[in-house]
Chains A and B, each alone.
Chain A
Amino acid sequence: MNSVRLIHLFSLCAISWSVACGDDAEFTISPATINLHAEEDSQQVLVTEIASRLDLTRSVRYEIAEPAIAAVTDNGRVNPVTSGSTTLRVINGERVQSIPVQIGNLASPRPVSFRYDVLPVLTKAGCNSGGCHGKAEGQNGFKLSIFGFDADADHDALVSEGRGRRVHLSAPDHSILLRKATAEMPHGGGARIVKDSVWYQRLRRWVAEGARDEPAPDSEVTAIKVFPSEVEMSPGKSQQLQVTAVTAGGDQRCVTVEAEYQSNAEDIATADRDGLITVSEIPGEAAILVRYMGHVGICRVTLPRSGNEFARPPEQNFVDTAVWDRLQKLGIPPSDRTDDAAFLRRVFLDVIGTLPTETECREFLADRSPARRDTLIRKLLNRPEYADYHALRWADILRVDKSIVTPQGAVAMTRWLKTQLRKNAPYDRMVHNLITSQGNTLTESPNAFFQVHKDPGMLGRSVSQVFLGVRIGCAECHHHPFERWSQKDYYAFAGFFTGVGRKGAPSGGQKIFPQPGKDLSHPRTGESVAPAGLGAPAPDLSEEYDRRNKLADWMVSKENPWFARMIVNRLWAHYFGRGLVEPIDDLRATNPATNEPLMNALASHLIKHDFDIRELTFAMLSSRTYQLSARTLPENRSDSQNYSHAAWRPLPAEVLLDANCQATGVAEQFNGWPEGYRAIQVWDNRMPSYFFKVFGRPQRVSVCECERGNEPSISQALHLMNSPESVRRIRHRDGVCAQLAASDDEPEKIIERIYLRTLSRFPAARESQLMRQAFEQSRTRRQAVEDIMWALLNTREFVFNH
Chain B
Amino acid sequence: MGHRRNSYCDGQTRRRTLQIGASSLLGGLTLPSILEMQANAAAPGPIRAKACIFLMLEGGPSHIDMWDLKPEAPSEIRGTFHPISTNVPGTQIGNIMPRCAQIADRFTIMRSHSHKDNAHQTGRHWVLTGYPPSFADGQAKGMPFNELYPSVGSIVSRELGQRGAVPPYVEMPNPLGPGGPGFYGARYAPFTIDTDPVQPDFEVRDLNIAEGVDESRLSLRRRLLEGADKEGPGANVTGRAKTMSSYYEKAFELATSPEARKAFRIQDEPESMRQRYGMSSIGQCSLLARRLVEAGCRFIGIDHGSWDTHVDNFTSHEKALCPPTDQALSALITDLDERGLLDETLVVMMGEMGRTPRINKDAGRDHWSQCQAVIFAGGGTRRGTVIGASDATASYPTTQPYGIQDLLRTVFHLMGIDASKVYDTPLGRPVPIVNGGSLINELIA
Look across to chain B and name the residue whose beta carbon is closest to the beta carbon of A272: B6
> What's the Cα separation between A649 and B142 when bound, in Å?
26
Q: Does B232 contact A (CB under 8 A)?
A: yes
Contact (A191, B24) CB under 8 Å given A796-B232, A797-B233? yes
Residues of chain A within 8 A of B5, CB atoms compared: 131
Contact present for A632 and B236 (CB under 8 Å): yes
Q: Answer yes or no: A748 CB below 8 A from chain B CBs.
A: no
**Which single member of A650, A702, A791 contacts B225 (CB below 8 Å)?**
A791
B81 at the interface (CB under 8 A from A): no
> A50 an interface residue at 8 Å Cβ cutoff?
no
Please name the residue on chain B nearest to A694 by beta carbon.
Answer: B186
Contact B186 A195 (CB under 8 A): no
Tell yes or no: A20 within 8 A of B by CB. no
Contacts of B220 in A (CB 8 A): 773-774, 777-778, 787
Number of B interface residues at 8 Å Cβ cutoff, please give it: 83
Check if A232 is an interface residue, CB within 8 A of chain B: no
Q: Is the CB of A774 within 8 A of B40?
A: no
CB distance from A12 to the nearest CB of B (A): 34
* B9 adjacent to A132 (CB under 8 Å): yes
- Given that A194-B23, A722-B255, A773-B224 are contacting pairs, would A795 and B40 also be in contact in the complex, using a CB cutoff of 8 Å? no
Q: Is A106 an interface residue (CB 8 A)?
A: no
Q: Are A802 and B8 in contact (CB under 8 A)?
A: no
Task: Please determine whether A709 and B208 come into contact, CB atoms closer than 8 angstroms.
Answer: no
Within 8 A of B (CB), among A569-592: 583
Known contacts A131-B432, A711-B1, A711-B240: A189-B9 contact under CB 8 Å: yes
Min C-beta distance of B373 to chain A, whole Å: 27
Q: Is A714's CB under 8 angstroms from B167's CB?
A: yes
B244 lies within 8 A of chain A by Cβ: yes
Task: Kindly list chain B residues whose C-beta atoms are within 8 Å of the C-beta of A704.
Answer: 426-427
- Decide: A189 near B10, CB < 8 A? Known: A794-B248, A795-B228: yes
Is A184 among interface residues, defined by CB-CB distance under 8 A? yes
- One digit per residue, 1 when the CB lies within 8 angstroms of any chain A CB and 0 when it does not, for chain B 18-47 equals 001001100111000100110111100000
For A194, list chain B residues within 8 Å (CB): 20, 23-24, 27, 29
Does A212 interact with chain B (Cβ within 8 Å)? no
Evaluate whether A126 and B9 lie within 8 angstroms (CB atoms) in the complex, with A196-B27, A787-B224 already known: yes
A139 touches B254 (CB 8 A): no
Q: Is the CB of A686 within 8 A of B141?
A: yes
A188 touches B40 (CB 8 A): yes
A130 CB-CB contact with B under 8 Å:
yes
B217/A783 in contact, CB under 8 A: yes
In contact, B239 and A713 (Cβ under 8 angstroms): no
Q: Which residues of B contact A366 (CB under 8 A)?
A: none
**Residues in B whose Cβ lies below 8 Å from that of A800:** 234, 237, 240-241, 244
* Docked pose: A44 CA to B165 CA in angstroms: 54
A interface, over-half SS: loop
Q: Is B244 within 8 A of A699, CB to CB? A: no
**Digit string of B290-310 for contact with A (CB within 8 Å is 1, else 0)?**
000000000000000000000
In chain B between 229 and 272, which residues have their CB closer than 8 angstroms to a CB of chain A? 229, 231-234, 236-241, 243-245, 247-248, 250-252, 254-255
| B217 surroundings in chain A (CB, below 8 A) | 778, 783, 787
Pick the residue among B40, B247, B429, B430 that contacts A716 (CB under 8 A). Answer: B247
Instruction: Give the contacting residue for B255; candidates A403, A629, A640, A718; CB below 8 A.
Output: A718
In the complex, which range does the number of interface residues on chain A fall in?
35 or more
Contact A481/B233 with A722-B210, A770-B224 known, Cβ cut-off 8 Å: no
Would you call B418 an interface residue if the criterion is a C-beta within 8 Å of the partner chain's C-beta atoms?
no
Chain B residues lying within 8 Å of A711, measured Cβ to Cβ, are 1, 185-187, 240
Contact A802 B233 (CB under 8 A): yes
Q: Is A567 an interface residue (CB 8 A)?
A: no
**In the assembled complex, how far is the CB of residue B221 from the closest CB belonging to chain A, in whole angstroms?**
5
Q: Mark A788-801, 1 if CB is under 8 A from B, else 0.
A: 10111011110110
**Chain B residues near A182 (CB, 8 Å)?**
29, 33
A81 CB within 8 Å of chain B: no
Interface contact A195-B24, CB-CB below 8 Å: yes
Question: Which residues of B from 142 to 160 have beta carbons under 8 Å from A?
Answer: 142-143, 147
What is the minimal beta-carbon distance from B440 to any residue of chain A, in angstroms? 16
Q: Is the CB of A650 within 8 A of B436?
A: no
Chain A 694-729 near chain B by CB (<8 Å), digits 1 or 0: 101001011010100111111111110111000100
Complex contact B36–A183 (CB within 8 A) = yes
For window 396-438 of B, CB contacts with A under 8 Å fall at 420, 422, 426-432, 435-436
Collect the chain B residues with CB atoms within 8 Å of residue A187's CB. 40
Residues of A within 8 Å of B236, CB to CB, are 631-632
Contacts of A693 in B (CB 8 A): 143
Bound complex: CA of A727 vs CA of B206, how far in Å? 10
Q: For chain A residues 129-155, which have a beta carbon within 8 Å of chain B?
A: 129-132, 135, 137, 139-140
**Chain B 68-83 against A: per-residue CB contact (8 Å), 1 yes, 0 no?**
0000000000000000
Tell me the complex Cα distance, A716–B221, Å. 18
Q: Give residues 56-75 of A contacting B (CB, 8 Å).
A: none
A471 at the interface (CB under 8 A from B): yes
Decide if B241 touches A191 in the complex (CB within 8 Å): no
Q: A131-B432, A650-B240 are in contact. Are A727 and B228 (CB under 8 A)?
A: no
The smallest C-beta distance from A352 to any residue of chain B, in angstroms, reads: 22
**In whole Å, how far is B257's beta carbon from the nearest beta carbon of chain A?**
13
Q: Which residues of A contact B248 (CB under 8 A)?
A: 717, 721, 794
**Hey, which chain A residues are within 8 Å of B143, CB to CB?**
688, 693
Pair B238/A792 contact, Cβ less than 8 Å: no
Q: Are A715 and B9 in contact (CB under 8 A)?
A: no
Q: Is the CB of B9 within 8 A of A184?
A: no
Interface residue A318 (Cβ < 8 Å from any Cβ of B): no
Q: How far is the CB of A128 from chain B (nearest CB, A)?
A: 11
Shortest Cβ gap from B100 to chain A (Å): 35
Are A766's CB and B206's CB within 8 A?
A: no
Residues of the A chain whose Cβ atoms lie less than 8 Å from the Cβ of B16? 190
Residue among A130, A709, A788 making CB contact with B186, cutoff 8 Å: A709
Q: Does A771 contact B (CB under 8 A)?
A: yes
Q: Which residues of B contact A471 (CB under 8 A)?
A: 427-428
Contact of B147 among A139, A481, A699, A712 (CB under 8 A): A699
In the complex, which residues of chain B have a beta carbon less than 8 angstroms from the beta carbon of A481?
A: 428
For A161-191 the 0/1 string (1 means CB < 8 A from B) is: 0000000000000000000001110111111
Q: Assess whether A637 is interfacial by the CB under 8 Å rule.
A: yes
Residues of A near B379 (CB, < 8 A) are none
Among residues of A, the one whose C-beta sits closest to the C-beta of B249 is A717
Contact, CB under 8 Å: B17 / A190? yes
A131 & B191 in contact (Cβ 8 Å cutoff): no
Residue of B nearest to A779 (CB): B217
Whether B240 pairs with A712 at a CB distance below 8 angstroms is yes
Q: How far is the CA of A780 from the CA of B345 in the complex (A)?
A: 49
- Across the interface, do B147 and A722 meet the contact criterion of CB distance under 8 Å? no
- Nearest Cβ in chain A — how far from B307, in angstroms? 25
- Which residues of A are found within 8 Å of B192, using beta-carbon distances? 715
**Closest Cβ neighbor of A688 among chain B residues:** B143
B339 at the A/B interface (Cβ < 8 Å)? no
Residues on B with C-beta less than 8 A from A792 are 228
User: Is the pair B224, A195 in contact by a Cβ cutoff of 8 Å?
Assistant: no
B229 touches A796 (CB 8 A): yes
If A126-B9, A342-B233, A795-B234 touch, does A719 touch B206 (CB 8 Å cutoff)? yes
Query: Within the complex, which residue of B186, B189, B254 is in contact with A718, where a contact is CB–CB below 8 Å?
Result: B254
Centre residue among B231, B238, B245, B254 by max chain A CB count within 10 A: B231
Which residue of chain B has its CB nearest to the CB of A716? B247
Which of chain A's residues 362-407 have a Cβ closer than 8 Å to chain B?
401, 403
Task: Please report the C-alpha to C-alpha distance between residue A140 and residue B405 in the assembled complex, in whole angstroms.
Answer: 13
Interchain residue pairs A-B with the least CB separation, the first 9: A791-B224, A717-B251, A796-B234, A132-B9, A712-B244, A648-B241, A194-B27, A718-B206, A791-B225
14 A–B contacts from the bound complex (CB under 8 Å): A131-B422, A184-B33, A190-B20, A401-B141, A650-B244, A699-B147, A713-B189, A718-B251, A721-B209, A770-B224, A770-B231, A774-B220, A774-B224, A800-B241
Apart from A629-B233, A718-B206, A722-B206: 13 A-B pairs, beta carbons within 8 A: A129-B7, A132-B9, A401-B141, A403-B141, A704-B426, A714-B167, A715-B192, A721-B252, A721-B255, A770-B224, A773-B220, A787-B220, A791-B224
